[in-house]
Amino acid sequence: MKPFALLLLLATTLSLSAQSSNSFALWPEGAPGALSNADKDIPTLTVFLPDPAKATGAAIVICPGGGYGGLAQHEGKSYALWLNEQGIAGFVLKYRLAPGGYHHPAMLQDAARAVRTVRARAGEWKLDPKRIGIIGSSAGGHLASTLVTHFDAGKADAADAIERASSRPDLGILCYPVISMGEFTHDGSKKNLLGENPSPELVKDLSNELQVTKETPPCFIFHTVEDPVVPVENALLFACALRKAGVPFDLHIYELGKHGIGLGSQPYGSGEQHPWTHDCEFWLKQRGFAK
């Protein structure tokens, strides 16, 4: 093998090794309801920590979109690197998906476990367990909005210390989110999440604009009017529900922008970011997550 090729192979191997070393399974003994022990059956978290000199002690779990049928890479690691620049630790969630044989509640179980894990192990990463948020885009926004409306306090008598922790995020960031399973839903996400013929009760339970209470944490929401995939009404309905319940929120509706815009330029740092990122940074400072 030529020296350059050998060097390239070594660099690639080291890079892959470094990337995999900060990922771990959410359930070392297997996820609840797992169909096998293949990669598709193992939800994971990948850790991205900020420079210690910048670290604020806050953390955010990241749920990439993909219609509950895949995971959009540009809505995962790039978000974590952007959060790191604000001093916030990012935890990218690989959750179970419909092509792997999963429907609700597997995805919610994975998101809840992710928040519990970060909170329960906060000391390891020098984090504040009272500043653990969640961000999601598109169907990942639905998953994030599901957790901010379907959390629990944990099981105080659980043998597993992680299960004793609350799954309630301290804030939510919803990017062009699927919110409703009703009139304005994204049909692909709904089918992948709920199956072919979900009951009316299940459709209502996962229409998160109907599940907001005064206990729902503060949320930042952004959407675009011209989004041809997920109607902007999803963001509007959720904001109205938060308003009615008296929950603080920031809502940003931009005229232009197709679906799945992520940060606005990919990969992170390659160009100017979309204005939503600057609006969100300001909001995160107001919420005590960033300096």
Domain positions in the chain are 47-286
Task: Look up tokens 């922008």; give the residue.
Answer: 257
pLDDT digits (tens, 9 = 90+) for 23-50: 999 999 999 999 999 999 999 999 999 9
**Class (C level, CATH) for 47-286:** alpha beta
Q: Name the nearest CA neighbour of 238 among 170, 180, 173.
A: 180
31 touches 42 (CB < 8 A):
yes
Dist. CA 93–CA 159, nearest whole Å: 24
Q: Which amino acid is at 155?
A: K
219 touches 188 (CB < 8 A):
no
pLDDT tens track, the chain, 291 positions: 433 333 333 333 333 333 335 999 999 999 999 999 999 999 999 999 999 999 999 999 999 999 999 999 999 999 999 999 999 999 999 999 999 999 999 999 999 999 999 999 999 999 999 999 999 999 999 999 999 999 999 999 999 999 999 999 999 999 999 999 999 999 999 999 999 999 999 999 999 999 999 999 999 999 999 999 999 999 999 999 999 999 999 999 999 888 989 998 766 766 788 999 999 999 999 999 999
- CB-neighbour burial class of residue 223 (10 A; exposed 0-12, middle 13-18, buried 19+): buried
Tokens of 198: 């979900």
pLDDT digits (tens, 9 = 90+) for 209-240: 999 999 999 999 999 999 999 999 999 999 99
- Give this prediction's pTM: 0.91
